[in-house]
Each structure stands twice: as C-alpha cells, then as structure tokens.
Amino acid sequence: MNHSLLMSILILSPFVGFLINGLRYKKHNYLVAGTIATSAVFISFISAVFLVVDLVGLPPDSRRIAVTFFEWIRVANLSVDAGFVVDQISAIMILIITGVGSLIHLFSVGYMHHDKGVAKYFAYLNLFIFNMLLLVLGDNLLVMFVGWEGVGLCSYLLIGFWFTDETKAAAGMKAFVTNRVGDAAFLLGMFILFLTFGTLNFSELNALVPAAAETSWLGAITLGTLFLFVGATGKSAQIPLYIWLPDAMAGPTPVSALIHAATMVTAGVYMIVRLNPMFMMAPNTMMIIAIIGAATAVMAATIGMTQWDIKKVLAYSTVSQLGYMFLACGVGAFGAAMFHLMTHAFFKALMFLGSGSVIHAMHEEQDIRKMGALKKYLPITHFTFLLGWLAIIGIPPFSGFFSKDEILWMSFHSPLGHPVLWAAGALGATLTAFYMTRLMCLTFWGASRVPKGTHPHESPITMTIPLVVLGVLSVIGGWIGIPHIVSDFLGHLPNVWEEWLHPMIKEVPNMGPADASLEWALIATSVGLASVSALVAYHMYVRKPGSASRVADAMGPAYKIVYNKYFIDEAYFAAIINPLVKGSRALWYYVDVNFIDKCTYWAADVAKGGGALIRSLQNGNMQQYAMYIGIGLVVVLSILLMR
C-alpha cells in the first residue's frame, strides 16, 4: 500500500478524532465520544501495523520508510522538512503508542463515563497521540521538537483536566513550566548541533559524526548532547527536573497510564537512542547520563517506599524505572534502554490502569491505608496487577526481568559502565521489589481497611479487557529479547530484539568478551536481592502489620526526609520561585515605577523648569525689558572696549 497514504492516516487519524470531539466539546455522551476517539487511535494502530509489516519485508540494512510532506521552514542553509520516518526505532514506538494508546482509550470509555467533559477529554487524548506520533516519526530534531512541546501541552491540559480544583490546575502548570526549562535547553542543543553540522536531520547528523570521540567538555558534540539531555530530564522526569511527574497524578488515571508512564515520559530516552551515534562520541555526556539515571533510579525508589497514595507510588516508580533507561543509555546499552522502554510501557500502563480500576472501585479513594484485601472484590484487576508486579520486580520469566537484567549487566560489563553503577542499579531493584510488594500487600492482600459504606466492585468489561491484554504482554513481552547467556542455556533462542535494532545502534567500542559465570552471578544476585526484599515487604505488611510503622519510627528523621520527598519541592520554592516572584515585584516597584518612570518625570521637570525660568524673563513688563537692554548694552560695550 502507498506509504505516504499510510503515514498520513497514521498521523492524521488521531488529529481528525481530536477535531471531531473538539467541536462537540459540549456533548456529554461518553459512548459516542469514546468510540470516535478509540477508533481514531485504532485506525492509526492498523496503519502502523501495515507500515511495520512493510518495514520487516525490507532488507535489514535499508529498513526505512521515509515520507516528506512539505518543506516547513527554509531560511538560508536551514531547511526543515515536515518529514517522517519509520525505521527500526520509531517502528517500536508507533506500535507502543497506538497499541497501548488504543487500550487506554478503551479503558477511558468506562473510566470517564460519568464525567461531563468527556468529549473534551477524548479530544485532548487524541491530540496527545497525534503529537506523540509527530515526536517519534519526525526525521529531524525540529519536527521532533514540535511533538515534544505538543505532548507537553496535552499533558498540561490533561493534568489540569479538572481545572476547577486549584491544585490540579497548578500541577498542570508546574508540569508545563518544568518541561519548558528542559525545552529551552533542547533549543540550545539544537542550535549547537545545527551550527556545527549544518543540519537538524537525524540521519544526516548521525552520518556526520566524527569517528573519534570528543574528550573536551566544551566541544560542540559534548555541549550539544548535554543540552539535549537536559531537555530529556525535563520530559522524562529525571533529576533535577523530575518534580512535576508526581504532581501530574492529579490528572485522570488513564492519562497517567498513557502519558506519564507508557509514552510521553519515555520521549527523552527515545531521543537519545535516535541520536545514539552522536551521544556515543561524547563520553562525558554519557557519563553524566549514566550517573543521573542511576541516581534517579535509587532516589525515586526510596521515596516510593514511603508514599500512601497508590498513584504517587506508581509515579515515583516510573521516575525510577526511567532512571534505569537513562542508565542504560549512559553505558551505551541503547538496545536495552529501548527494550526496557517497551516492557515498562506494558507493565506500568497495566499497573496504572489497574490502580485506576481500584480507584474507580473505591469511589475515587487513592489512599492505600484505606484499602486492603481487595483481591476478592477485584479478581481480574488483582490478577493482572500481580503480573505487572512480577514483571517490574524482575522475576523470570516475566518481561521486566529480561530488560532490567540486560541493563544491569551492561552497566557492569560495558567499558562505559562501572561496578558502582551496577550496585546502584541493583539497590534500586531491591527497593523496587520492596515498594511494589508493599503496594500489592496494602492494596490487595492482608486485612481489609476499607471504610464502611464503600462497596468495591470489579470494573466493567471495557476496563478489564485492556488489563488482560496488557497483562499478557507484561508476561511475554520480554521473550523477544532473551539474553545470549540465557538463550544458550535454553537451546539457542534467537534474540529478535537485538537483531532488529542492530543496524541502528552504534556498538560500544572495546567491549570485552562476556564472562558467563560472572553474568550468571550478577543475575542471581539481583533476582535474589529482589526476592528477599519482596519477602521482607510481605512479612512487614501482611504477616506483621504494624511492624512497618515501627521501622519508620526507628528511622526517625531519615524517614521524615524521605517521606517528604527530600524537601526538593520546598527547596525549589525557597531558592528559585519565591525569590523570583518577590524579586520581580521589587523590580516592578523600585526599578520600573520608582526609578525609570521617575527619571522621565525628572526630565520633564527639567524642561518645565527651564521653560519657567525663561518665561520669567518675558513677563511683558516694559521697564524690565528696558533694564535687560541696558544691561546688555553695558556688557557688549564693555567687552568691545576692553579688547
């Protein structure tokens, strides 16, 4: 089938959905709005499948379907096309976006059925898919940036969807502004790369990268990639710009699943993988990325251990898992980063939707202290959530095990890696097992703490179908990327993932041969730690409820600090936001009103005073004029005579 037609359908179908629902923004019928929006994304999914099938049919080294619609901006040597490319990397993304996206749209039909703004909701959701597709399909940095800001905009609209609540509107704004900080850096990164290489096109940039790595911190590639990475920390919620993501949970839960777990927040990872030959040549940037990724993974996991809001736990878990993806990028394991991106999209979307199902059942209650023993009321939700739990804590053969194991192994083994990075990753995995088990225990298991009058019930079928599909994917999703060492053991299963991405990924130079026994030992260690940690959590929250709070009390201030998210928000407020607002008020009052404007008054007064002075000379009094003439005469004459 015609590729440009398929590409148009892929991209424009959600946009048409947005327009239709946007024009019916006053309508309340959730079935009509939901059907329009879901089918719009599903049509996209179908065309994505067609495109990917065609892509698979091409020989591995020329797998690339490019469509250019028109030239967007042309100024001097800057020429930016509205061009879109499906290749090995974007193929994965479009399947995730439209596939998981369709499921989440379907879930939303049930979830949002009582909301009055349902047409508006679906319009925003479709607009998001459209922008996300622009982001991943764009063949150059500027088109990517269009989607990059576009998804941020949709995120803003959806976080603040229930805008009459001041805090929700504030959360939306916080997300947008924090993202803007990253976007400003992204712009600078683009400028540096464009002025160095004369193009913003991905394939051209990757082809122009010099062969030798750049060692200077101030080199164009290092600086350019660093700025792009700062952009990524905004969009993908990494230190220091992660603060918006937990607040973003103010949005409807399916939005959290789609935008703040499966798709948008992975954009930063995607961007780095897209430009991996470029990043590879900037080892300093790579080091920073790995450190930030590992630090975020651990820090967010510690906060996740202390939160009581089911969505907040998942939010910090997302921040932490994104940290793993950046760790992978930083050690040159771009394939593993993409792999984890995909498995995470499955299991985290699953868990967010599961939490949505729980919240729905609990009549908008999100506090896990008021849950417990929901297993019997929500059997499907519980079972699928269980699969997600096993996947994220990395129990084989669930999907998360394969992707996380690959990252941990590479962070140890790669020349860009370091045992400390591995240790941080393993620690993060241990903490992850703890807080996810804690979440399972407090929500589904143990004793019921459900308040009287609440009658939890299983969700309707439109909500459980997506759960089941994502549950299956969370189990089997990892099987396409089985590591060599395991596949050798199982009888030479192919690593489809690695073969698929191979032409797009630049190999890490000087990679030593893998030591099988070491790799087994590391796998055993991380799985062992996770299992023990999960058992401890089970013990603390199911067997001996109450022991957890004793531990927390024993920790004292340390617990308080973690519970309050290290007071980072407060620090930002104290160090940046409050001084900025106060300083601006001072600027307005002291500089603008009382200095600059006063200066103009002063200038006016001088003119006026001067005028008054001269006016007083011309008062119409004849005698005075005569006197002036007399004085003048004397002066002139005396000058003439003195000469």
Partner 1 sequence: MLLSAIVFLPLLFALIIALWPKETSLRHLALGFSLIEFFLSLSVFQKFDPSSASLQLVEKHVWIERFGISYFMGIDGLSLWLVLLTTFLMPIIILASWKSINTRIKGFHACLFILQTAMLGTFLAIDAIFFYIFWELSLVPMYFIVGIWGGSRRIYATVKFFIYTMAGSMLMLVAMIYMMYLTQEATGQMSSNLLDFYKLKIPFIGGQFFSLQTLLFFAFALAFSIKIPLFPLHTWLPDAHVEAPTPGSVVLAGVMLKMGTYGFLRWVIPLFPEASEYWAWLFMLIGVVGIVYGALVAMVQPDVKKLVAYSSVSHMGYIILGLFSFNVFGLQGGLYQMLNHGVSTGALFILIGMIYERTHSREISKYGGLAGVLPLFTIFFFIVTLSSIAVPMTNGFVGEFLILLGTFKVMPVFAYVAVLGVILGAVYMLWMFKRVFFGEPGPLVKDDHHPLHDLNFREVTVLVPLVVMIFWMGLFPNQFLDWSKASVDHLVQNRSAYNLTIYGASATPAAPLVAEPPTPTAEPTTESTPMPEAPSPTTDTTAEPGE
Among 1, 31, 580, 606, binds partner 1 (CB under 8 A): 580
Cβ count near 540 (within 10 Å): 20
- HEC profile for 265-322? HHHHHHHHHHCHHHHHCCHHHHHHHHHHHHHHHHHHHHHHCCCCEHHHHHHHHHHHHH
**19, 170, 468, 493: residue in contact with partner 1 (rule CB under 8 A):** 170
Q: Is 588 in the site for partner 1 (CB under 8 A)?
A: yes
Q: Which listed residue (597, 628, 631, 634) binds partner 1 by CB under 8 A?
A: 597
Q: How far is the CB of 75 from partner 1 (least distance, A)?
A: 5
Q: Which is nearer to partner 1, 167 or 454 (CB)?
A: 167
| Sign of the torsion angle spanned by Cα atoms 318, 319, 321, 326 | positive
Least distance from partner 1 to the Cβ atom of residue 172, Å: 8
For partner 1, give the closer residue by CB, 159 or 480. Answer: 159
The answer to the question of residue 220 lying near partner 1 (CB under 8 A) is no
Query: Which residues, 415 to 434, sit near partner 1 by CB under 8 A?
Result: none
- Least Cβ distance, residue 618 to partner 1 (angstroms): 23
CA nearest 425: which of 346, 323, 565? 323
Q: Which helix (H) or strand (E) holds 89?
A: helix 88-111
Q: How far is CA 342 from CA 134, 164, 257, 348, 478, in A?
A: 19, 35, 14, 10, 9
- Under the binding rule (CB under 8 A), the answer on residue 389 touching partner 1 is no
What does the alpha-carbon distance between residue 61 and residue 59 come to, in Å, rounded to a whole number? Answer: 6
Tokens 């030239």 belong to 71
Is residue 191 a contact residue for partner 1 (CB under 8 A)? yes
The residue (of 455 and 598) whose beta carbon lies closer to partner 1 is: 598
Place of tokens 């990494």: 238
The CB-of-199 to partner 1 minimum distance in angstroms stands at 13
> According to the binding rule CB under 8 A, does residue 386 interact with partner 1?
no
Shortest Å distance, C-beta 581 to partner 1: 6
User: According to CB under 8 A, which one of 60, 579, 583, 610 is a site residue for partner 1?
Assistant: 583
Instruction: Please provide the size of the chain in residues.
Output: 643
Binding residues for partner 1, total number by CB under 8 A: 52
Name which of 451 and 609 has its Cβ closer to partner 1.
Answer: 609
* Single-letter amino acid code for the residue at 398: F
DSSP string covering 97-122: HHHHHHHHHHHHHHHTTT-TTHHHHH
Would you count residue 188 as binding partner 1 (CB under 8 A)? yes
Residue with smaller CB distance to partner 1, 5 or 581: 581
Closer residue to partner 1, CB minimum distance, 543 or 585: 585
Which span sits near partner 1 by CB under 8 A: 4-12, 379-387, 476-484, 583-591? 583-591
Only segment of 172-180, 389-397, 447-455, 500-508 that touches partner 1 (CB under 8 A):
172-180
Q: Max alpha carbon distance in the chain (Å)?
A: 124
| Residue with smaller CB distance to partner 1, 110 or 189 | 189
The answer to whether 177 contacts partner 1 (rule: CB under 8 A) is yes
Q: Among 587, 626, 635, 636, which residue interacts with partner 1 (rule: CB under 8 A)?
A: 587
- How far apart CA 307 and CA 298 sit, in angstroms, is 15
Burial grade of 5 (CB within 10 A; 0-12, 13-18, 19 or more): exposed
Run of H or E including 481 = none
Residue of the chain from 19, 169, 386, 548 that contacts partner 1 (CB under 8 A): 169
Kindly state the smallest distance separating residue 353's Cβ from partner 1, in Å: 27
Q: Which long-range contacts (CB under 8 A, 24 or more apart) does 55-62 make?
A: 55/86, 55/87, 55/88, 55/91, 60/499, 60/502, 60/503, 61/503
Q: What is the dihedral of CA 318, 184, 239, 505, to 10 degrees?
A: 70
Q: In this structure, are residues 381 and 467 in contact, taking their beta carbons and an 8 Å threshold?
A: yes
Cβ of residue 70: shortest distance to partner 1, in angstroms? 8
Give 185 or 467: the residue with its C-beta nearer to partner 1.
Answer: 185
How far apart are the C-alpha atoms of 11 and 127, rounded to whole Å?
10
Phi, psi for residue 640 in degrees, rounded to 5 = -60, -40
State the Cα–Cα distance between residues 54 and 57, nearest whole angstrom: 5
Binder to partner 1 among 596, 634, 635, 636 (CB under 8 A)? 596
Of 62 and 600, nearer to partner 1 (C-beta) is 600
Q: Which of 81, 87, 139, 183 binds partner 1 (CB under 8 A)?
A: 183
Bridge partner residues of 85 (DSSP): 66
- Residue closer to partner 1 (CB basis): 185 or 328: 185
Nearer Cβ to partner 1, position 14 or 304? Answer: 14
Q: Strands (DSSP E) along 19-114, which ranges?
A: 64-75, 78-87
**Shorter beta-carbon distance to partner 1: residue 476 or 604:** 604
Binding mask 127-166 for partner 1 (x = CB under 8 A): ---------------x--xx--xx--x--x---x--xxxx
Query: Which is it for the CA torsion 8, 11, 14, 20, positive or negative?
Result: negative
Specify the residue for token string 């030992």.
521
Looking at the Cβ atoms of 117 and 446, the one nearer to partner 1 is: 117
Query: How far is C-alpha 448 from the geometric centre of its chain's CA atoms?
Result: 35
Q: Which two tokens stand for residue 538?
A: 């089970």
Instruction: State the minimum distance, in angstroms, from the CB of residue 373 to partner 1.
Output: 37
Query: Does 180 engage in binding with partner 1 (CB under 8 A)?
Result: yes
State the binding string over 47-86 for partner 1 (x if CB under 8 A, else -): -----------------------xxxxxxxxx--------
- Helices (H) then strands (E): counts for the chain: 28, 2
Which residue lies nearer to partner 1 by CB, 192 or 439?
192
Query: 229 vs 339, which CB is nearer to partner 1?
Result: 229
By the criterion CB under 8 A, which residues form the site for partner 1?
Answer: 25-26, 70-78, 142, 145-146, 149-150, 153, 156, 160, 163-166, 169-170, 172-173, 176-177, 180-181, 183-185, 187-188, 191-192, 194-195, 580-581, 583-585, 587-588, 592, 596-597, 600, 604
